[in-house]
Chains A and B, each alone.
Chain A
């Protein structure tokens, strides 16, 4: 079945550091890929998405590129801020479906 694997956390960085959170997936066909963020006590917010190979999703300085050849969708940010501290989830959704399949989440803490 479909699955998503994220790098294990927690990840702790200093402010202005470069961030990479790895995400790989297993799925048939051409799923859409997503990164969601969850702040303490809140639900999930869509951070960015990509719907086809080589698409780059970007938002708030975060980027991720849909790489079909490596089945990956790694999240990157050039300079993190304390306010980026949260749990990040990589997810996929099959074409035509509503169901999201999530990775296990990566807790990110940014120290000033």
Chain B
């Protein structure tokens, strides 16, 4: 079974631009969560989607948004990029309804210059 895939793996953007990251969950997984990993703040929860609906959101500004499609694939968007948005963005997918493990993708490394 294929794992969680994230595209692109690496991205360089300029301040003020916007960016879209993509995550394809493991087949059959309908919950997708996003996390930001930085050296200073560690791993922080961004949001979780299930059945195309955002179920939970972390403490991030409105510049960070996401969506989920009917095939469970998810995208996250960051508008008006700031230098502090440079991070590894991790996506995780899981089954729902029980104590299921979350499987993480390799991440997208975003660098804002």
Contact = CB atoms under 8 A, between A and B. Distances in A.
B24 interface: no
A43 B107 contact: yes
Contacts of B80: none
Interface residues of B, number: 25
Given A32-B99, A49-B101, A98-B31, A44 B45 contact: no
A42 interface: yes
Interface string B97-113: 00101111111000000
Nearest to B59: A1
B33 A45 contact: no
Interface in B34-82: 35, 42-45, 48, 50, 55-56, 58
A98 B42 contact: no
Interface residues of A, number: 21
A103 B58 CA distance: 16
A98 B33 contact: yes
Interface in A73-112: 89, 91, 97-105
Contact of A42 (B43, B55, B96, B106): B106
Contacts of A44: 90, 92, 104
B90 A43 contact: yes
Given A43-B90, A98-B94, A105 B43 contact: yes
A99 B42 contact: no
B107 A98 contact: no
A46 B101 contact: yes
Nearest to B44: A102
A43 B43 contact: no
Contact of B56 (A32, A36, A45, A97): A97
A64 to B, nearest CB: 16
A95 to B, nearest CB: 9
Interface of B: 4, 31, 33, 35, 42-45, 48, 50, 55-56, 58, 90, 92, 94, 96, 99, 101-107
16 contacts: A45-B104, A91-B43, A98-B31, A98-B48, A98-B50, A98-B56, A98-B102, A99-B48, A100-B35, A100-B45, A100-B102, A102-B42, A102-B44, A104-B42, A105-B42, A105-B43
